[in-house]
A and B are shown apart, each in its own frame.
Chain A
Amino acid sequence: MSTQFHVAHHFTDAEQQRESAKLGMWLFLLTEILLFGGVFVAYAVYRVWNPEMFINAHKALDVSLGTINTAVLIISSLTVALGIREIQLGRAKTSWKYLLVTILLACVFLVIKYFEYAHKFHEGQLPGKFYTYEGIVGTNPHVFFSIYFLLTGIHAFHILIGISLLTWVMIRTMKGHFSSEYYTPVEITGLYWHLVDLIWIFLFPLLYLIG
């Protein structure tokens, strides 16, 4: 089993290299918060302008599917955390299985999201000028769906990237590239995955449970 890795010449030791990688990831996560922040601000502005419409429009969303997806993401966050714990303890053979479960849960999330989207396309509950649904009382209901599709769409795109990253670190874990000495890529992929979960924790009540 190869556990060798390089300490780049500009780092004092492996510990400093690891901490720098993590700080870089945290700074990236900061920019991610601000990326979603832009849409959260749009949500706040339009909700204050159209309070009745937001309450009426959110009833078009399926609370039970949203709740299931929240639980799926929370469990996937738990499994990736356990996967990282296994590799910290040097158990690569169980670590990759936790990562596999995480990837499968992420796929379940996307399948459920697909059914939700398909239903909204069918009903014409779509953003902007594509909005054709007529069952919502209030001003500018298409604005709610613009924000809904932007927030959940950017989030789903992050899930897709997360699946790719998790697959990459899972394969490398299976190949024995990581050990308790070196597992930085698994750890920072985990941080990214937790952030995707963290954003959903706010998306879920803001979109599905308002009123």
Chain B
Amino acid sequence: MSEKHSHVHVTPLWVYLAVGGALLVLTGITVAASFVDFTALFGIGSLNFAVAMIIATIKATLVALFFMHLYSDSKFYSLTLLAGIACLMIFIVITLLDTNYRGEIYEIEKGPIEPKAKIYRSAE
């Protein structure tokens, strides 16, 4: 039992402070970037959305690796998180494949299944 703590890794203080600082700086960058119209600047559609999501993913990775200790912990926990993200991606992609391309297979316009539903009435 003498090596009971061999797996517990205490992250140095500077790592926490550096990650916290990086997260705050990235927050500033993502807010600043939202005021720049990248889509018009480079002529690529949805570029602003891509920039915002890339920055958010970098921030989330920093939180998961260092605050949640995935960097030093057993890789099994990382696998659990990645499995959750994979399920979410399948959920989003398969749903959008339906809702965005419905009209190209069947003789219907893409849009809500029940456009006359009560929830849409107030807006008309």
Contact = CB atoms under 8 A, between A and B. Distances in A.
B88 A48 contact: no
Contacts of A81: 11, 16, 66-67
B63 A77 contact: yes
B47 to A, nearest CB: 12
Interface in A2-58: 13-15, 19, 22-23, 26-27, 29-31, 33-34, 37-38, 40-41, 44-45, 48-49
What does DSSP make chain A's interface, helix, strand, loop or mixed?
Answer: helix
A101 interface: no
A85 B34 contact: no
A30 B81 contact: yes
Interface residues of B, number: 56
A135 interface: no
A141 B10 contact: no
Contact of B92 (A37, A88, A129, A190): A37
A67 interface: yes
Nearest to B77: A26
Interface in B1-59: 1, 4-5, 7-8, 10-11, 13, 16-17, 19-20, 23-24, 27, 30-31, 34, 48-49, 52-53, 55-56, 59
A198 interface: yes
Residue among B74, B76, B123 having the largest count of chain A Cβ atoms under 10 Å: B123
Contact of A78 (B49, B67, B88, B99): B67
B67 A201 contact: no
Contact of B30 (A37, A88, A89, A205): A205
What does DSSP make chain B's interface, helix, strand, loop or mixed?
Answer: helix
Contacts of A48: 96, 99-100
Contact of B96 (A19, A45, A77, A206): A45
Interface stretch (A68-76, A147-155, A160-168): A68-76
B99 A45 contact: yes
Interface string B58-92: 01100110111000011011001101110110011
A81 B21 CA distance: 14
Nearest to B123: A140
Closest 4 A/B residue pairs (Cβ)? A30-B84, A209-B34, A78-B20, A205-B52
A44 B23 contact: no
Contacts of A29: 80-81, 84
Contacts of B84: 29-31, 33-34
Contacts of A30: 80-81, 83-84, 87
